[in-house]
């Protein structure tokens, strides 16, 4: 059985834009590269031709991947909840620290630590999932057990 993937409205839009680019402009560029490489002659030792074929394969794989994501993913909107779930924003405090960290809980496809977007499948995301304000969660890390207090959910 396949796991459900979750994406935000913004991610869905970005995937649709990328898919459109790949199906139109990128495919055309690759076909032009293939034509130019074919014109150079012997295909068996033609590096440009082999590179264009490799690019074509990667592009077609990405098109299939995006198509699948768009068809199989559930779109979630950013929302408030009393429990941590995909689409909520949480404020947590690490044990023995004063500062709080804000994370958005997103599906695996959108996780980006540089933007404080953590996946519901990440260790912290998994530990927080379904919890309420005030709950304390423990996560096993290479340095040992780390506790986080769930300060707020938005």
Indicate the pLDDT class of residue 1, thresholds 50, 70 and 90: low
pLDDT, one tens digit per residue, over 92-142 is 999 888 899 999 999 888 899 999 999 998 999 999 999 999 999 999 989
For domain 5-76, the question of CATH label 3.30.70.20 is answered with no
Q: Assess contact for 89 and 102: CB atoms under 8 A.
A: yes
Considering the domain 89-153 in this protein, what is its CATH number?
Answer: 3.10.50.30
Indicate the pLDDT class of residue 81, thresholds 50, 70 and 90: confident
Query: In the chain, what are the domain boundaries?
Result: 5-76, 89-153
Q: Assess contact for 36 and 48: CB atoms under 8 A.
A: yes
């Amino acid at each position: 059985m396949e796991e459900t993937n979750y994406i935000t409205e913004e991610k869905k839009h970005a995937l649709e834009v990328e898919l459109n680019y790949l199906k139109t402009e990128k495919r055309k560029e690759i076909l032009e590269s293939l034509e130019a490489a074919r014109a150079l002659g012997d295909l068996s030792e033609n590096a440009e031709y082999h590179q264009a074929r490799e690019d074509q394969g990667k592009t077609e794989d990405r098109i299939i991947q995006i198509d699948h994501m768009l068809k199989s993913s559930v779109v979630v909107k950013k929302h408030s909840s009393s429990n941590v779930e995909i689409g909520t924003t949480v404020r947590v405090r690490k044990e023995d620290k004063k500062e709080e960290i804000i994370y958005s809980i997103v599906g695996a496809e959108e996780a980006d630590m540089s933007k404080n977007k953590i996946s519901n499948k990440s260790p912290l995301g998994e530990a927080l999932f379904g919890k309420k304000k005030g709950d304390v969660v423990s996560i096993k890390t290479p340095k040992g057990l780390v506790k986080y207090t769930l300060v707020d959910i938005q």
